[in-house]
Amino acid sequence: MPIRQITIIGTGLIGGSFGLALKKHGYAGRIVGCDRAPVLERARGKGAIDAGQTNPADAVRGSQVILLATPVGAIVELIGRLGPALPPKTLLTDVGSTKSEILTRAKAVFGKETGRRFLAGHPMAGKEQTGVEFADPDLFQGAAWFVTPVPAQKTFDGLSGEFLQWVENIGARVAAMNADAHDQLCTWISHLPQMISTALAATLVDEYGEDAPLLEVGGRALREMTRISASSYSMWRDVVLTNKKNLKRALLTMEQRLAHIRENLDTKELAMEFERAHHLRKISPPRHRDTEKTKS
């Protein structure tokens, strides 16, 4: 059954970008947004949605796919609120940055039907800015879109398969793994980098004051390392709370590594640390967004 209508609950950066991307890549169906009234007005003005509702129960009516694009805590709450009332053939999916707690709630709501009615997803795309004002139809170009299926779930069949085809149409690369492995991986490749950037920026403010023009004189390295320190706490709070065990372990490992470097600033161990760090670039050469656009 073709997807004639999609509801996006949370029309901020990710939800708004998804709506814009669908339209750019030829989706001819209707896109309904759900958010606060001023946000919906901006989303309509930007062309990310065709219509808007402030009440989730009203927004989902008539949609074959519902995308939850809110912070993780709200996703968990919405699964419990909307799930029991949805028609059996409706697909509920999400973009949450952690997956274990979200899947636990989905299984509690849908039981044996979870694999048919819920698709846990997470696009590895975003910006430090939030809000539909920064939505970008090319945000997902070349990005990984993780799915964390339950056992025996056939993610590429039926409605979820059609949805994932649209995910690929907008330029993302679908990759599947279990929820625990996803949360552990994202700890290292997303959550830890955010904490490091936040810590560095906060330390610099403490050292030099709030008005020191450090970014202007610090050069590209400082700008790159502190760029995501501007990210919203309200979004990251839920990520941390639902992945605290993994993040604590990663932070401790990082602290130990920094201590090792501190204690070996004048030994050959420092050179060995640089050499080991260079292997990351050898394994994963830098990706250039323009190149990815050309290939897609």
Q: What is the pLDDT of residues 202-221, one digit of tens each?
A: 999 999 999 888 988 888 99
Spatial distance between the Cα atoms of 144 and 172, rounded to a whole number of angstroms: 6
Q: Is the pLDDT confidence value at 288 over 60?
A: no
**pLDDT for the residue 127:** 81
Rounded (10°) CA dihedral 186, 240, 8, 169:
-10
- Which are the contacts of 227, defined by CB distance < 8 A and separation ≥ 6? 128, 197
Measured distance CA(197)–CA(202) in Å, rounded: 9
In the predicted structure, residue 30 carries a pLDDT above the cut 70: yes
Q: Kindly list the structural domains of the chain, giving each domain's residue range(s) and its CATH number in brackets, ordered by start.
A: 5-177 (3.40.50.720), 182-290 (1.10.3660.10)
Residue 5 near residue 29 (C-beta atoms within 8 A): yes
Report the DSSP pairing between strands 173-176 and 144-147: parallel
Strands laid side by side in the 51-53 sheet: 51-53, 30-34, 5-9, 65-68, 91-94, 118-119
Q: Mean pLDDT over all residues of the chain?
A: 93
In the chain, what percentage of residues exceed pLDDT 70? 95
Four-CA torsion 18, 21, 23, 24, nearest 10 degrees = 170
77-110 in b/e form (b: 16+ CB < 10 A) is: ebbeebbeebeeebbbbbbbbbbbbbbebbbebb
Residue 293 has pLDDT above 80, yes or no: no
Tell me: the pLDDT tens digits for 137-186? Answer: 999 999 999 999 999 999 999 999 999 999 999 999 999 999 999 999 99
| pLDDT tens for each residue of 213-242 | 898 888 899 999 999 999 999 889 999 999
